[in-house]
Structure 1
Amino acid sequence: MMENKRALIAMSGGVDSSIAAYFMKKNGYYCEGTTMRLYRNEDIGRCDFRTCCSQKDIDDASEVAFQLDMPYEVLDFTMDFREKIIEKFIRIYENGGTPNPCIDCNRYMKFDKLLRFAQEKNLNYVVTGHYARIEQDEKTGRYLLKKALDNTKDQSYALYTMTQSQLAHTLFPLGSLRKKEVRALADELHFVNARKHDSQDICFVPDGDYTKFMEEYTGRHYPAGDFLDQKGNIVGKHTGAVRYTLGQRKGLGLAMGEPVYVCGKSMDKNTVTVGPESALYTKVLIADDMNWIAFEDLDKPMRFQGKTRYRQQEQWATVSPLENGQVRVEFDTPQRAITPGQALVLYDGDVVVGGGTISGVLPE
Structure 2
Amino acid sequence: MRVLAAMSGGVDSAVAAARAVQAGHDVTGVHLALSRNPSSYRTGARGCCTLEDARDARRAADVLGIPFYVWDLAERFHADVVEDFVSEYAAGRTPNPCLRCNEKIKFAAVLDRALALGFDAVCTGHYARLVDGPAGRELHRAVDPDKDQSYVLGVLTTEQLAHALFPLGASHKSEVRVEAAERGLAVAEKPDSHDICFVADGDTAGFLARELGEQPGTVVDESGAVLAEHDAAYAFTVGQRRGLRLGRPADDGKPRYVLSIEPVSRTVTVGPRDRLAVGRIEGTAPRWCGAPPAGQVSCRVQIRAHGETLAARAEIEGDVVRVDLVEPAMGVAPGQAVVLYDDTRVIGSATISHTVAAATI
- Give TM-score scaled by structure 1 length: 0.94
Distance 2:209 2:256 in 1: 27
Question: Aligned residue for 1:251?
Answer: 243
Q: CA deviation at 1:45?
A: 10
Aligned partner of 2:155: which letter? T
Match of 1:74 in 2: 70
Q: Secondary structure at the match of 1:86?
A: helix
Aligned pair partner of 2:294 in 296, 299, 302: 299
Matched, 1:275 2:267: no
Please give the per-residue CA displacement for 1:278-320, whole angstroms capped at 9, x wherever unaligned.
11111101101111224x2233111110011112111111111
**Aligned pair 1:242/2:234, yes or no?**
yes
Match of 1:318 in 2: 313
Compared with structure 1, are the counterparts of its residues 19 and 345 closer, same or farther at alpha carbon in structure 2 (3 Å cutoff)?
Answer: same
Which of 15, 20, 23 does residue 24 from structure 1 map onto?
20
Kindly state the Cα deviation for residue 42 of structure 1 after the two structures are TM-superposed: 6.4
Residues 126 and 149 of structure 2 are in contact (CA less than 8 Å); yes or no, is this contact kept in structure 1? yes
Pick from 293, 306, 309 the counterpart of residue 304 of structure 2.
309
Aligned 8 A contact 1:265 1:273 in 2 = yes
Alignment of 1:1-364 (within 5 A): 5-41=1-37, 49-137=45-133, 139-140=134-135, 142-216=136-210, 218=211, 220-254=212-246, 255-256=248-249, 257-294=253-290, 296-322=291-317, 324-363=318-357, 364=361
Q: Answer whether contact 2:38 2:51 (CA < 8 A) is retained.
A: no
CA distance in 1, matches of 2:62, 2:43: 25
Give the letter for the 2:73 counterpart: F
Q: Helix, strand or coil: the match of 1:187?
A: helix
Distance in 2 between the 1:195 and 1:82 partners?
Answer: 30
Amino acid at match of 1:337: G
| 2:314 alignment partner, SS class | strand
Moved more, 222-231 or 55-64: 222-231
Give 1:211 deviation, angstroms: 3.0
Q: CA deviation at 1:191?
A: 1.1
Deviations 1:230-249 (A, max 9, x none): 11111112221100001111
User: Which consecutive residues of structure 2, in runs of 5 or more, have no partner in the other structure?
Assistant: none
Unaligned runs of 5+ in 1: none
- Provide the rounded CA distance (Å) in 2 between the counterparts of 1:189 and 1:12: 18
Query: 1:46: how far off?
Result: 6.6
